[in-house]
Amino acid sequence: MRKTKQEVRTTLMGLAFASPWLIGFVLFVAYPIVASLYYSFTEFTGLDVTGFVGFGNYVHMISKDELFHKSLYNTLYYLSLAVPLGLVVALVLALLLNLKMREISFYRTCVYIPNIVPAFASSFIWLWMLNPEYGLVNLLLEKIGIWGPGWVSDPRWSKLSIVLMAQWGAGGSAMIFLAALQDVPRSLYEVADLDGASSWTKLRYITLPMISPVILFHVIMALFGAFQVFTPAYIMTSGGPANSTLFYVLYLYRNAFNYGKMGYASAMAWLLFLLALVTTLVVMKTSGRFVYYQGEER
């Protein structure tokens, strides 16, 4: 069916108005993605391609690069702790902020404020708080008779320190959970009360199933964030001590901008994309077991 002149004119006008975004998307998103895929098969310094190596970057990365293995281990370690801990912390905060009490708006504001502090500034704040000699955390532990560890200066505690620091921004997720909690029908709780259900029973069989889509969203976004953890390690430890906080993206950054190995860094970026994609697909594939959508027939 042929379009009328007016329809063609309207379409062209719409494209003209959208052209700044379309041109920006092609130049700054689409082209860099395609170019990085090409460069991942080359020796690229950032200025010139010195040779085509095929899958050489990928083979070297997986079979010979010990720092790559170390960075992948550090990232998976961080992910395995930060994601579930962040979920629990955000959910507990949301449940507390959903209680009926005076000045609840003030408490909600206090919980959310750390989430808007730039990661750069937060890293410096926590670098001071976790200082083994005069940091606030060890001073508080000393008050109760506990000799605090070296935190970021100790390889045994450095990754855990950054995991704990990540909970600083749990307020943002808590606000999302809070909105979901307030959307749960009150009639379900009233019926449960009539049946004599305990608080734990209502949490397990009403609250969690009803907000499970939001939990799924949180888990996926947290996985993306964990795979890309960079700023705290870059500011606080620079990957140390003893490469204990050399996370994947930090090592990728070093290869690209410190060592001039843009081709190798592009290969790392694409492997990271595949890891994140596979992880997300697994989560989505298994989500049907625990995610409940209202109106969906089971």
End-to-end, the C-alpha distance of the chain in Å comes to 42
List strand residue ranges (DSSP E) for the chain, in order. Answer: 42-44, 49-52
Residue 7's pLDDT band (cuts 50, 70, 90) = confident
Average pLDDT for 93-122: 90
User: Percent of the chain beyond pLDDT 90?
Assistant: 73
What is the pTM assigned to this prediction? Answer: 0.90
Q: Which helix (H) or strand (E) holds 257?
A: none
The pLDDT of residue 2 is above 80: no
181: how many CB neighbours lie within 10 A of its CB?
Answer: 18
**SS (HEC) of 92-141:** HHHHHHCCCCCCHHHHHHHHHHHHHCCHHHHHHHHHHHCCCCCCHHHHHH
Digit-coded pLDDT (tens) for 196-239: 889 899 999 999 999 999 999 999 999 999 999 999 999 999 99
* Inter-residue contact 249 to 228 (CB < 8 Å): yes
Percent of the chain with pLDDT over 70: 97
Query: Which tens digit of pLDDT belongs to each residue from 152-205?
Result: 999 999 999 999 999 988 999 999 999 999 999 999 999 999 988 898 999 999
- pLDDT class for 81, splitting at 50, 70, 90? very high
Q: Is the pLDDT of residue 286 over 70?
A: yes
Determine the Cα angle at 170 with ends 221 and 179, to 5°.
Answer: 80
pLDDT at 214: 94
- The confidence score (pLDDT) of residue 295 equals 59
Q: Kindly give the interhelix angle for 262-286 and 31-39, rounded to the nearest 10 degrees.
A: 110
Measured in whole angstroms, the distance separating CA 80 from the mean position of its chain's CA atoms is 12
